Amino acid sequence: MGLLSRKAACNTHGQDSSYFLGWEEYEKNPYDEKKNPNGIIQMGLAENQLSFDLMESWLAKNPEPAAFKRDGESVFRELALFQDYHGLPEFKKAMVDFMSEIRGNRVSFNPNNLVLTAGSTPANETLMFCLANPGEAFLLPAPYYPGFDRDLKWRTGVEIVPIQCSSSNNFQITESALEEAYKQAHKQNLKVKGVLITNPSNPLGTTTTREELNLLINFVDDKNIHIISDEIYSGTVFDSPEFVSITEILQERNLQDSDLSERVHIVYSLSKDLGLPGFRVGALYSNNEDVVSAATKMSSFGLPSSQTQYLLSQMLSDKKFTSNYLKENKIRLMKRHDMLVSGLKNSAGINCLESNAGLFCWVDMRHLLKSKTFEAEKDLWKRILFEAKLNISPGASCHCTEPGWFRMCFANMSEETLNLSITRIKDFVESFNTVSNVNRRQQRRLLRSPRMGLTKWVMRLSASVSHDSEPER
């Protein structure tokens, strides 16, 4: 270890969170319908595999871009040599037009304010490097995407202070929660540089309401800080209320040319809406010239390749394709979401937070916990992983303050696999209830037994409880 830098050796990367540990277990024993039907099903990965056929059919009808061609001529050499970190102008134009389309063309974006990055991961980190010094803080509504501990903190030295949201109001952001987080940061001697929200939310699958967005704008205005809106799931909103971007609120309040608008930054990527995390295409958008200039220089550390930019500029410029894709993809997401929600409810008596977006549900399993603790949540998570063979993400990994919530992804598998996951949960809950009932009956019987001394009774009872909580691997 002495040979490595402090950065390489420090553990703020978050790799030991159960979010990543679940992935590791899945890798050891991955489910495959034919080759490994008893393996673990991956429900902890927010991937969108539902609309690849639409893109494949576009590629079949438009073979030139993938073959390095334009109007029959090769563009191979041009692309091979392209190394301007401002990115291909035609791609930046296609990206901003796509972002407007997702927002119903109610707002437009200037390609000169867009900085390309290799996904949202570096876009978020770049904004941290631009807006905060090591030891300064950003406030994040919790529960939040587990990867943020790595993306925002690890290399930048920036701290995250959670804005504690609760199930009592469906995890919405309130003024008192914002003020409380701000106070907490000060107590920890951390200077607050901004708020970062995810709209729609990962892990909740809900869109941020107009009221929340107005509240946030007022808050950052009052405190003279920044706001970053990670809108990576903006194209996945499959049900009402429709998606409202923070840029729309600025426009509605006539703030688009104000000082405040220079403290509002957007993060986007094609990893979720188009389901292309492997292509590494993302961007940050800012009205702040200095941020755009610094971030553009930093983007030389991770730009999407010119060949990817070229291919996607052609695809996204085909407006007939994008409009059909966005519509059809939402229909498919909604169907999957409904399958999971009704499957959990009808077959296992499990409820989900009402949601309208994203690639996952926020599932309430508080009633299955042995006690209202994160220890009990971890026990349940392990049992679901090793007995039901489902990798789901526990709320603790998303920094949720209430034990018993889990994120379940539904768009990274086939319909058959999703049905199998629901069956596995149903069987798990049935066996769980049977064991609990047996335990309860045993306890009643033991209590009624006149001959059993107190010590013996306690020993019998604790043996049956500890056996029950031990996961079988």
Ligand X SMILES: Cc1ncc(COP(=O)(O)O)c(C=O)c1O
| Of 48 and 379, CB closest to ligand X | 48
Q: 277, 304, 395, 403: which one contacts ligand X (CB under 6 A)?
A: 277
Give me the phi and psi of 87, to 5 degrees please.
Answer: 85, 170
Assess 141 for contact with ligand X (CB under 6 A): no
Q: 156, 208, 269, 356: which one contacts ligand X (CB under 6 A)?
A: 269
Query: For the chain, what's the residue count?
Result: 473
Tell me the residue type at 62. Answer: N
Catalytic site residue 257? no
DSSP 155-178: TT--EEEEEE--GGGTT---HHHH
Of the candidates 230, 273, 364, 379, the residue annotated as catalytic is 230
DSSP 347-394: HH--EE----SSSEEEEE-GGG-SSSSHHHHHHHHHHHHHTS-EE-EE
Catalytic site residue 350? no
75-114 residues near ligand X, rule: CB under 6 A: none
Q: 22, 44, 119, 403: which one contacts ligand X (CB under 6 A)?
A: 119
Catalytic site residue 230? yes
Q: Is 184 exposed, middle or buried (0-12, 13-18, 19+ CB in 10 A)?
A: middle
177-206 residues near ligand X, rule: CB under 6 A: 198, 202
Helix (H) or strand (E) holding 105: none
Cβ(274)–Cβ(95) under 8 Å? no
Q: Nearest approach, Cβ of 195 to ligand X (angstroms)?
A: 14
Of the candidates 31, 145, 268, 325, the residue annotated as catalytic is 145
Query: Taking the CB of residue 45, how many other CB atoms lie within 10 A of it?
Result: 18
Cβ(242)–Cβ(199) under 8 Å? no
| Of 164 and 271, CB closest to ligand X | 271
Catalytic site residue 145? yes
Residue in the shown chain whose Cβ atom is closest to ligand X? 119
CA 225 to chain centre: 24
- How far is it, in rounded angstroms, from Cα 400 to Cα 420? 28
| Of 39 and 147, CB closest to ligand X | 147
Q: Nearest approach, Cβ of 189 to ligand X (angstroms)?
A: 28
Of the candidates 272, 330, 382, 389, the residue annotated as catalytic is 272
Assess 120 for contact with ligand X (CB under 6 A): yes
Q: Nearest approach, Cβ of 148 to ligand X (angstroms)?
A: 7
- How far is it, in rounded angstroms, from Cα 387 to Cα 244? 41
Q: How many residues bind ligand X (CB under 6 A)?
A: 14
Assess 46 for contact with ligand X (CB under 6 A): yes
Summarize as ranges the residues that interact with ligand X (CB under 6 A).
46, 119-121, 145, 147, 198, 202, 230, 232, 269, 271, 277, 282
Residues tagged active-site: 145, 230, 232, 272
